[in-house]
Structure 1
Amino acid sequence: MPSRHRTLPLPDPHPRRQLLRLLGAAAAGAPLAALAGFNFFTSEYTIGRDELQAQIAKRFPVRQRYAELFSVSLRDPQLTLDPATNRASITANMTIGSPLLQPSSVEGIVSVSSALKYDVAALALRLHEPRAERIELQGLDGRDAERLQKIGGLVAQELLRDYPLRTFKPEELTVGRKTYQIGDITVQRDDIKVALL
């Protein structure tokens, strides 16, 4: 007499094998470290604020002269990300020095905010059209403070113009045989996401 028990088919493992092959091929195409910020399912690359902060700190202090009479230097940068405006801000300690000053240098703080752009040739995420939002100088007021604030703001903007926040390695944008391009840039509170096209 035939058995009345039916044998249920096992779940098809093929989709899982396909996913594993995809991930394996991706890992084979680039070092695992390079894929750390890569999301295969959303085609996005995420760069954490801590990573960006560490990269910025390596490039400071920075210094530039103004009109051959003033020297402006920035140090100890701190990065802030603002999702409401899709902008990044760098706040740094600032020193303005000049033989015209008594004493010969003034300390302060400057905050510069900026939009972001992608430089295809350099594979770099750069600050775009930065602007000085806040400048505070110690021990000065009146017209002297206004003049030095203007100088400090102009030089800080120039120092940070096209500044590279993050430079990609070619292997970070290559998975298997596909090389991705950077699309939309989205600033979040703790990271920056870039769309991969």
Structure 2
Amino acid sequence: MRHNTPALSHKLWVAAVLCAGLLGWTHAAQPAPQDGTETEAKSPGPRYTVSAAQLQRSVAARFPLRYPVPGVLSLDLQVPQLRLLPEHNRISAEMVANAAGPALNRSHNGTFEISFALRYEASDRSIRAHQLRFKRLQFPTLQPGVVDMLNTYGPALAQQSMLEVVLHQLRPQDLALADVVGLQPGNITVTDAGLVIGFVPKPL
């Protein structure tokens, strides 16, 4: 009777390598304990981390942007400075805004601030901004009436400037091990250092 021992051994070896790789990937991605104590032995599952610096570089590539208010002025938005808000599981973006145009005697600098949550888009493996909230649009040197007018454009400006902006895009190799075991990115947690992406089973 013929035994296919080499083929069976090869399959077991491949399975062992995949399991070891997945466990190593999970362990490496877990945040280090803050108090110097060891983490618990149980594993929360595979994680993928994205640093705050990576997020800042991604969003910077989209700016500066210009938005006209026809016949009145135009707003130029500079590169946003991102601030992580772990307590709300959101990110805030504050950017310098320059207002200039026929309705103003000179250009004026101010600030524009919004916040947003995050979602995973499977079609292109991207982490995107969504659930935008307009916070404030301030111009200290403009007349209050003009600032009030600009703030009416604030929510629309927030949508145009940051809605669905790609903050990070995962590579196929980043998801290779997760694909093998039938997982895909799920929940996204904002931490002080960046993002921690958890994995969930793929839908059948």
| TM-score of the two chains, using structure 1 as the length reference | 0.74
The AA in structure 2 aligned to 1:87 is: R
Aligned pair in 2 of structure 1 residues 36, 58: CA closer, same or farther (>3 Å)? farther
Which has the higher Rg, Structure 1 or Structure 2? Answer: 1
Coordinate RMSD, CA, aligned: 3.0
Between the aligned partners of 1:101 and 1:128, the Cα distance in structure 2 is: 33
| 1:172, distance to aligned residue in structure 2 (A) | 1.1
| Residue of structure 2 aligned with 1:94, choices 94, 97, 105 | 97
CA contact (8 A) 1:37 1:47 kept: no
Q: Deviations over 1:115-170 (max 9, x none)?
A: 11111112111111312212221312321221123335532332111111111112
In the alignment, structure 2 segments of 5+ residues that lack a partner are 1-12, 31-42
Residue 190 of structure 1 is matched in structure 2 by 193
| Equivalent residue runs for 1:10-159 within 5 Å | 21-22=17-18, 39=29, 42-67=45-70, 69-103=72-106, 105-159=107-161
**Which structure is higher in RCO with an 8 Å CA cutoff and minimum separation 6?**
1
Identify the structure with the greater strand proportion: 1
% same residue: 26
Between the aligned partners of 2:154 and 2:75, the Cα distance in structure 1 is: 7
In the alignment, structure 1 segments of 5+ residues that lack a partner are 1-16, 27-34
Number of residues of Structure 1 aligned to a counterpart in Structure 2:
172
Aligned pair in 2 of structure 1 residues 95, 37: CA closer, same or farther (>3 Å)? farther
